[in-house]
């Protein structure tokens, strides 16, 4: 009897839930686990973060990068929770594997997490990463991109065109194969 009442209550909620979901779907603002996402085809949120970048000898050196540094290039800005975790390592390895293809397409790859520069340097060294990793310990930039649930950045990726316009967004990314997915989208956008 109790189970039946519970089921009837849930069935009664279905029309209201459908109405709420269609209202959310028609909204101009997109939401994801981590906050409000920046709007597509608008200027990407600016950032200015310290981190590490690979040097010629393979060592990681301190750097500070902002959105203007990528003027005239495509930018793959990907947020991830932690260095050295399983999914984050798979994702970073994927971007590293495809890095030459991104560079050939006039695109830079940059990772962002709450980890400090020392952790990033160790991660780059351990995985042979040849692209910058930036530190966002307070989540300021991650929040601007709707990618923050303290104390971690969420696994979201953003493709920004050479004029600083946000062209594609991926949320709740599955690490395996993600780099190839972004590369395909980049090529399609460049061809259009």
| Superfamily the domain 35-191 falls into | Glutaredoxin (3.40.30.10)
The pLDDT of residue 56 is: 74
Active site annotation includes 88: yes
The pLDDT of residue 60 is: 83
The pLDDT of residue 30 is: 58
Residues 145 and 80: their CA atoms lie apart, in Å, by: 12
Annotated active-site residue in 88, 110, 114, 166: 88
User: Tokens 């990068």 identify what position?
Assistant: 65
Question: Which residues, 6+ apart, have CB-to-CB distance to 95 below 8 Å?
Answer: 76, 78, 102, 109, 111, 129, 131, 179
Tokens of 160: 């920004």
Question: Which residues, 6+ apart, have CB-to-CB distance to 143 below 8 Å?
Answer: 35
The pLDDT of residue 35 is: 78
Digit-by-digit pLDDT tens for the chain (192 residues) are 454 444 344 334 333 333 333 333 333 455 566 778 999 999 999 999 999 998 877 788 999 999 999 999 999 999 999 999 999 999 999 999 999 999 999 999 999 999 999 999 999 999 999 999 999 999 999 999 999 999 999 999 999 999 999 999 999 899 999 999 999 999 999 999
Report CA-CA distances (Å) from 138 to 49, 148, 149.
11, 9, 11
Element (H, E) at 156: strand 156-160
56 CA to centre of own chain: 26
Residues 60 and 73: their CA atoms lie apart, in Å, by: 22
| 139 backbone dihedrals φ, ψ, rounded to 5° | 75, 15
What are the residue boundaries of the structural domains of the chain, listed by start? 2-28, 35-191
């Amino acid at each position: 009897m109790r189970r039946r009442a519970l089921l009837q209550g849930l069935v009664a909620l279905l029309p209201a839930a459908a109405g709420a979901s269609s209202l959310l779907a028609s909204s101009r603002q997109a939401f994801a686990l981590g906050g409000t996402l920046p709007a597509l085809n608008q200027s990407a949120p600016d950032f200015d973060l310290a981190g590490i970048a690979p040097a010629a000898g393979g060592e990681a050196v301190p750097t500070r990068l902002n959105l203007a540094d990528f003027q005239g290039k495509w930018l793959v800005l990907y947020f991830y929770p932690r260095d050295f975790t399983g999914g984050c390592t798979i994702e970073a390895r994927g971007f590293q594997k495809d890095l030459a293809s991104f560079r050939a397409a006039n695109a830079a790859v940059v990772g962002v997490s709450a980890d400090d520069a020392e952790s990033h340097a160790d991660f780059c060294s351990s995985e042979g990463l040849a692209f910058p990793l930036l530190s966002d310990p307070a989540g300021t930039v991650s929040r601007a991109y709707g990618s923050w649930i303290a104390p971690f950045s969420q696994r979201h990726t953003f493709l920004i065109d050479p004029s600083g316009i946000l062209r594609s967004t991926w949320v709740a990314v599955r690490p395996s194969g993600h780099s190839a997915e972004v590369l395909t989208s980049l090529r399609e956008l460049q061809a259009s």
